[in-house]
Structure 1
């Protein structure tokens, strides 16, 4: 079982529009509603793979109830923590040419009592978990050290932690030594406070993040592939992708694939790359099923192309 923790979940509404024009009335060609948040997406990807997952998340108001219903419909066990504030609703405007404009609400502020209830829920469901995936931004009220507290409590109970967050929350959590962290290129550059122009730059940054406390680093480099750096070695993975439809949730699908495959070594990296590549070829934030995966399109090597320039360098 993979337990996910999403401190700031959302109800995501996506509207398909011909073109976005400021100040005009725009009629949508289509709309969809999905449960959102990085940890929620990891649970959705795990469930799509036919594996058991439990999603711990604070939920409040009508949007929170709808998030719980949508997750339940996808076969995900929900461990809700009731909060006084309403779960945030995010809006995405998808134009016909592929441009996506997102409006993300801040979300409710959690009280001290609600924060403790959230930690209690994680502890109550962690005994059966092979991995605990803590993902996303922290809501108002939670200190940047909150994830570090989760990591320490989880390790005290014998659980393994995968962490996908950024900024100060990531730096604080590294001191607690999470088992694996999953930054993208921008988050990796932010963690080491310098730009990344090549795969070699990303590898060096990942090694530094390990030195800060991460057991392993699974770094998403967008269209260029993924890096896995751990105490047993470093590997680079990439995949052939015919058509990119949406990269929303692709990193979350990658993390799910990594954990499903055991969360360590080149085989887990290959699974991560396969899941991420499948996700970008699906619409919106749809998570891939086993039928969507193409393992033959994936290449994993210890011969890392250090001089390869990143398609989207981070300044």
Structure 2
């Protein structure tokens, strides 16, 4: 069982549009409403793979009730934390050329009592979990050290923990030695305080996060592939992808694929790459099923191409 924690979930509306013309009436060609938030997406990908998952998340108001209903319909067990504020609603505009514009609301501010209830709910749901995946931004009311406290509690309970966040929350959590962290290129550059222009730059940055406390780093480099760096070495994974439709939730699908495959080594990296590549071929934040995967299109190597320029350098 994979337990996910999403401190700032959302109700996500995705509109597919031919192009985005500012100030004009734009007619959508497709529309989806999905439960959102990085941890929620991880649970959705785990469930799509036919595996058990429990999602812990604060929910409030009509949007929160709809999020719970949508997750239940996808076979995901929900451990809700009732909050007074309404769950945020986000909008994504996906253009036909692959460009995505997102409008993310801030979400409710959690009270001290709600913060403690969230931690206590994770504690009560942890027994029997193979992994806890803590994902996304922190809502108002949670200090950057909140994830660090959660990592410490998970380890005290003997549960492995994966962390997908950024900025001060990521840096604060490193001291508690999360089992794996999953930054994208921009988050990796932010964590080390310098731009990344090559795969080698990303490798060095991942090694620095390990030196700071992360036991493993799974770095998403967008169209350039993914890096895995742990105590046993470094691996680089790529997949050929035709017809990118939406990259919403692709990184979350990758993390789910990594954890489903055991969360360690090149085999888990291959699963992460396959899930991420499948996700970008699907609309909105639809998560891939096993039938969507193309494992034969994935290449994983221990010969990291350190001199290869990143197609999207991170600053």
CA drift at 1:17: 3.1
| d(CA) in 2 for partners of 1:24, 1:201 | 42
Alignment of 1:239-278 (within 5 A): 239-278=239-278
TM-score by length of 2: 0.98
| d(CA) in 1 for partners of 2:32, 2:80 | 23
Alignment of 1:166-177 (within 5 A): 166-177=166-177
Match of 1:134 in 2: 134
Q: Does 1:48 align with 2:51?
A: no
| d(CA) in 1 for partners of 2:105, 2:215 | 33
Q: Deviations over 1:91-114 (max 9, x none)?
A: 112234433221110000000000
Match of 1:313 in 2: 313
Match of 1:220 in 2: 220
CA drift at 1:281: 1.2
Unmatched runs of 5 consecutive residues or more in structure 1: none
CA drift at 1:232: 1.1
Q: Deviations over 1:110-164 (max 9, x none)?
A: 0000000000110001111000000000000000000000000010100100000
Q: Does 1:229 align with 2:232?
A: no
CA drift at 1:15: 2.1
Q: Does 1:190 align with 2:190?
A: yes
- Runs of 4+ residues over 6 Å off in structure 1: none
Match of 2:181 in 1: 181
| d(CA) in 2 for partners of 1:304, 1:95 | 33
TM-score by length of 1: 0.98
Match of 2:296 in 1: 296
CA RMSD of aligned residues (A): 1.0
Q: 1:22 to 1:224 in 2, by over 3 A?
A: closer
SS in 2 for 1:235: strand
Q: Does 1:30 align with 2:34?
A: no
Q: How many residues in Structure 1 have an aligned counterpart in Structure 2?
A: 315
| d(CA) in 2 for partners of 1:179, 1:304 | 22
Moved more, 109-118 or 19-28: 19-28
Q: Deviations over 1:36-69 (max 9, x none)?
A: 0000000000000000000000000000000000
Match of 1:104 in 2: 104
